[in-house]
Structure 1
Amino acid sequence: MTPSADDAAHAVHCRLDELLEARGMTLTELAQRVGITLANLSILKNDRARSIRFSTLTAICRTLDCTPGELLILTEEDTH
C-alpha cells in the first residue's frame, strides 16, 4: 500500500534534542536506557518518523521524566 500525500506530511515536531540537552543526556545514552536502536531514535529526533509505538513513547517519557506533550508538539506548518 502506497502512503497518501496526507500520510507523508505532518506538523508534529519531536523535541528530543531539547529534552536531552536539558537533562544532560546523549542520544546514545537514551538509546541504551530505553532499549531502542540509535538509528530509530535518530529518525524520531529528526522528525522523519511516521509513527511511534506507545510502548516506545512510554519508555522515552519515563526515562526523560516528561510527558508525551513535552516530547511531541504540533507546529503551525508541515515539516515535510
Structure 2
Amino acid sequence: MRSRTTIRTQSRNHGREEIVPVTTRYQFTIDGELSERALAAFPELRAKLPISGTTTLFGPVPDPTAMRGILARFDNLGLTLLEMRQLPD
C-alpha cells in the first residue's frame, strides 16, 4: 500500500525534499446488506446502495495502520469481506 511519496518543494523548503502523505483509495465489498448501525462503524468510508446481497464501502485509507483498523472492525463486527481493491487515483 502506498502511503507516502517524496516531492520537491522549492518555495517553502528552499529546494529541500519533503515527505508528503499520499492517501490511497480502496473499495471493500462486504457480504450482506449492512444496517445503519454497522455503517456507522466506518465513518471514514462511504457506502454504495446494496446490490444483490452485498454492501460496497469505499474511501481513502491514509496508511497501513488505518487499513489494519478497518479490517479489524470488519472482523469485530463479524462481517465477511468478499473483495478489497485499490481504486485508481
TM-score bracket for this pair, using the shorter chain length: 0.3 to 0.5
TM-score (norm 2): 0.40
Which structure carries more relative contact order (alpha carbon 8 Å, separation 6+)? 1
Q: Which has the higher strand share?
A: 2
Quick check: which has more Rg, 1 or 2?
2
The structure with the greater share of residues assigned to helix is 1
TM-score, normalising length: structure 1: 0.42
